Amino acid sequence: MCGIISYAGKRKALPILLEGLYRLEYRGYDSAGVAVVEKNGVVQSVRAVGRVEDLASSLSGVDMHGTVGIAHTRWATHGAPSVANAHPHADCKNSVFVVHNGIIENHNHVRSALLREGHVFSSETDSEVLAHLIERALAGYRKPFFLEDAVSEALRHVEGTFGIAVVSAHDAGKLVVARRGSPLLLGIGDGEFFAASDSAALVRHTRRIVYLDDNELGILSPQGYEVRNFRHKPVAKAIETLVGSLSDAQKGQYEHFMAKEIHEAPDVIRNALRGRVLYHDGTVKIGALDSLAKKSARIERVVIPSCGTSFYAGLAGKYMIEEFAGIPTEVVHASEFRYAPPPLGAHTLVVAISQSGETADTLEAVREAKRKRAPTLAIVNVVGSSIAREAQMGIYNYAGPEIGVASTKAFISQLTVLSLLAVWLGRQHSLSVSTGRSILEELQYLPQKAAVALAAAPRVRELAEIYGAYDNFLYLGRKYNWPTALEGALKLKEISYAHAEGYAAGEMKHGPIALVTDTFPTVVIAPSDSVYEKTISNIQEIKARRGKIIAVATEGNTEIEKLADHILFIPKTIEMLTPILAVIPLQLFAYYVAHKRGCDIDKPRNLAKSVTVE
Ligand code: F6R
């Protein structure tokens, strides 16, 4: 949610900043801007509404030669997308320029105080107060000489979250960045230094990374970098190495990242399993779980705070953990957990699930759980992300960068990891070796089966041709595939803007059936599992009301052909793993419907990839 890239080195900053913005665009894309400090100390800034390419057009013919600069791509929180609200924001004298991710919660109060002091504001954003606070600090009675001192002083007056990058005509040649609650990392190059909200913007230039922690400030210049806390004390930071390749963040043969990422399902499952299966013992080996075994008392409850797609993965995980480990499990929207946390304690394992590892509500849920002394385990895809570092134990998905804003491969990976967690917890309780083995054996076949499910893409595309113009869809599933129905509906609505509702199939009669007509199709997830017959009854009820049915069913099921208007087959697997295969045709269906409707699939309207504000 909003992307920051900034640079201090010997090369011209502008091309580096623009290239970084393109890589960060998936985090927010309603406006963008840059500011570069020129050799004479003057700061030049250009902003534009729309995509990074709109900014690039606005920059054509503009000469920027400076080697220190900041840039931002925005997802609006305070103030509509407009040039005035785009970052960087400047002070009254166009001397201090700031880009900001996060929310300054007391901005109204600070703005009023600054207005009284004569400052003139030019945007409706919360962020602009930062530029004026730094201006005030630079001009203050104690006259701090260095930009970093002025930034520290300014930050004393704000409440909320921020990741910021600042340049100024005063102390030109220096880039100051700071973090509280919004991700920020430094890239260490050879005589050049970067700071970004996301490693995607850095990977082309350097793999040497320093993660800033909350209340830390980085001072970067072509001569070097230093990290301090807000009390001016130097902080020794480790340099870590980024993993992954540049091609991970490219579309390759695919038209969209989303299509590429859906088709990565087999590899994603393999990567989540690699080195973790102890088939002989019918269990799994994951470092985090070893430390959980050592540190914690018996786990009596599991609570899963998460958001969106990760929440739906958590719902399927609940069924896995309850069925195979017998441990009561509750899945809580992280945004609710934050203000109404369930009872927690040393015997409750809190499992935070997040692709980005930066979702503000999930991060806060982890912090709240730690305050309540509950053991915290994170299932996170982005290595080194805030949630990964905040939780006491972590399991990485190793799914590779997910660039499409709609989460696809992460869901598949999260379900795979949750099945491993269920086996491990089960084996700590009463799950037998043989049941553990049978789950692990089936998991080993899953990549091939996912490839078979993906091979149905042309058939899914045909269905999208038929249904692409419909505006309303109902998605139904039971037990393990209720979360799949919720996820299928979420995918469709977020990228195609068709209205879609996911429901537990048994709940249909309690309301949603009123919606069913011959122009309100229902997608039913009906694999051959323990609730298949019940789901078939629901299909019949819809047919009786002239509703059209698209069924996701298990290969070889000929009975369903008599009932459903269209069928998408998936390979047979054990019940707990059916969501991993069943979601594939649903992801493809959402993709092709959105494609037919001409939607901007990788950057859907109003959304941003990682939600770093609450
Ligand atoms: C949906 C989607 C979102 C995310 C949610 C949580 O396609 O991408 O619903 O799943 O914002 O994000 P993470 O998993 O990064 O915490």
The pLDDT tens digits of the residues spanning 397-432 come to 999 999 999 999 999 999 999 999 999 999 998 899
Q: How many residues are given for the chain?
A: 614
- For atom 11 of ligand 1, which residue has the closest CA? 308
Q: What is the pLDDT of residue 200?
A: 85
Examine the pLDDT at 244 and tell me if it is beyond 80. Answer: no
Tell me if residue 562 is catalytic: no
Q: What is the pLDDT of residue 352?
A: 98
258 with 589: CB under 8 angstroms?
A: no
**Ligand 1 geometric centre to CA of 123 (Å):** 30
* Same fold yes or no, 251-454 and 456-601: yes
Examine the pLDDT at 67 and tell me if it is beyond 80. Answer: yes
Rounded to whole angstroms, the Cα distance separating 82 from 289 reads 48
**Ligand 1 geometric centre to CA of 310 (Å):** 6
Q: What is the pLDDT of residue 610?
A: 75
Mean pLDDT for 561-569 is 95
**Ligand 1 geometric centre to CA of 408 (Å):** 10
Q: What is the pLDDT of residue 247?
A: 65
Going from N- to C-terminal start, the domains of the chain cover: 3-242, 251-454, 456-601
* 252 CB burial (10 A radius; 0-12, 13-18, 19+): exposed
List 186's β-bridge partners, or say none: 195, 210
Examine the pLDDT at 28 and tell me if it is beyond 80. Answer: no
257 with 404: CB under 8 angstroms?
A: yes
Of 258, 306, 309, 353, best ligand 1 pocket probe by most atoms within 8 Å of the beta carbon: 309
Among 174, 260, 479, 609, the active-site one is 609
Q: What is the pLDDT of residue 61?
A: 86
Rounded to whole angstroms, the Cα distance separating 94 from 520 reads 55
Q: What is the pLDDT of residue 342?
A: 92
CATH of 3-242, one of 3.30.565.10, 3.90.1860.10, 3.60.20.10, 3.40.50.300: 3.60.20.10
Q: What is the pLDDT of residue 75?
A: 82
Tell me if residue 2 is catalytic: yes
**Ligand 1 geometric centre to CA of 251 (Å):** 20
Examine the pLDDT at 379 and tell me if it is beyond 80. Answer: yes
Mean pLDDT for 14-42 is 90
Mean pLDDT for 453-482 is 97
- For atom 3 of ligand 1, which residue has the closest CA? 308
Beta-carbon contacts of residue 471 (< 8 Å; ≥ 6 apart): 498, 499
Kindly report, residue by residue over 516-539, the tens digit of the pLDDT: 999 999 999 999 999 999 999 999
Per DSSP, the three-state class of 4 is: strand
Q: What is the pLDDT of residue 295?
A: 67
Mean pLDDT for 473-501 is 97
Q: What is the pLDDT of residue 262?
A: 98
Of 256, 262, 315, 355, best ligand 1 pocket probe by most atoms within 8 Å of the beta carbon: 355
Per DSSP, the three-state class of 339 is: coil
Owner of token pair 């594939």: 584
Mean pLDDT for 294-307 is 86
Q: Which CATH architecture does the domain made up of 251-454 adopt? A: 3-Layer(aba) Sandwich (3.40)
**Ligand 1 geometric centre to CA of 527 (Å):** 26
Q: How confident is the prediction for the chain on average, in pLDDT? A: 94
Rounded to whole angstroms, the Cα distance separating 540 from 542 reads 5
Q: What is the pLDDT of residue 306?
A: 98
Examine the pLDDT at 143 and tell me if it is beyond 90. Answer: no
Rounded to whole angstroms, the Cα distance separating 562 from 593 reads 25
- For atom 4 of ligand 1, which residue has the closest CA? 308
The two structure tokens encoding residue 247: 């091609």
Q: What is the pLDDT of residue 41?
A: 87
Class at the top of the CATH hierarchy for domain 456-601: alpha beta
In eight-state DSSP terms, residue 281 is G
**Ligand 1 geometric centre to CA of 29 (Å):** 17
Examine the pLDDT at 614 and tell me if it is beyond 80. Answer: no
Per DSSP, the three-state class of 96 is: strand
Per DSSP, the three-state class of 361 is: helix
Beta-carbon contacts of residue 359 (< 8 Å; ≥ 6 apart): 306, 307, 310, 334, 387, 610, 611, 612
Of the listed ranges 61-65, 409-413, 447-451, 577-581, the least confidently predicted one is 61-65
Rounded to whole angstroms, the Cα distance separating 358 from 387 reads 6
Kindly report, residue by residue over 91-130, the tens digit of the pLDDT: 999 999 999 999 999 999 999 999 999 999 999 999 999 9
Task: Determine what percent of the chain is predicted with pLDDT higher than 70.
Answer: 98
The two structure tokens encoding residue 395: 């399991």
- Atom index in ligand 1 nearest the CA of residue 359 equals 16
Examine the pLDDT at 246 and tell me if it is beyond 80. Answer: no
Q: What is the pLDDT of residue 141?
A: 59
Q: What is the pLDDT of residue 26?
A: 75
DSSP per residue over 576-598, as a string?
GGHHHHHHHHHHHHHHHHHHHTT
Beta-carbon contacts of residue 80 (< 8 Å; ≥ 6 apart): 124
| Start-to-end C-alpha separation, the chain | 11
- Atom index in ligand 1 nearest the CA of residue 411 equals 10
Examine the pLDDT at 195 and tell me if it is beyond 80. Answer: yes
Kindly report, residue by residue over 566-610, the tens digit of the pLDDT: 999 999 999 999 999 999 999 999 999 999 999 999 888 888 777
- Atom index in ligand 1 nearest the CA of residue 356 equals 15
In this structure, the residues whose C-beta lies within 6 A of any atom of ligand 1 are 307-310, 354-356, 359, 362, 406-407, 490, 494, 610-611
CA atoms within 13 A on the CB side of 220: 33
Query: What is the CB neighbour count within 10 angstroms for residue 503?
Result: 21
183 with 197: CB under 8 angstroms?
A: yes
Q: What is the pLDDT of residue 468?
A: 95
Among 2, 449, 491, 548, the active-site one is 2
Kindly report, residue by residue over 331-372, the tens digit of the pLDDT: 999 999 988 989 999 999 999 999 999 999 999 999 999 999
Mean pLDDT for 12-29 is 89
- For atom 9 of ligand 1, which residue has the closest CA? 308
Give Dmax over CA atoms of the chain in angstroms.
Answer: 83
- Atom index in ligand 1 nearest the CA of residue 610 equals 15
**Pairing of β 277-278 and β 208-211:** unpaired
At residue 142 the predicted structure's pLDDT band, cuts being 50, 70 and 90, is low
Rounded to whole angstroms, the Cα distance separating 179 from 390 reads 15
- For atom 16 of ligand 1, which residue has the closest CA? 354
436 with 427: CB under 8 angstroms?
A: yes
In eight-state DSSP terms, residue 386 is H
The two structure tokens encoding residue 313: 């993965």
Examine the pLDDT at 297 and tell me if it is beyond 70. Answer: no
At residue 81 the predicted structure's pLDDT band, cuts being 50, 70 and 90, is confident
**Ligand 1 geometric centre to CA of 307 (Å):** 6
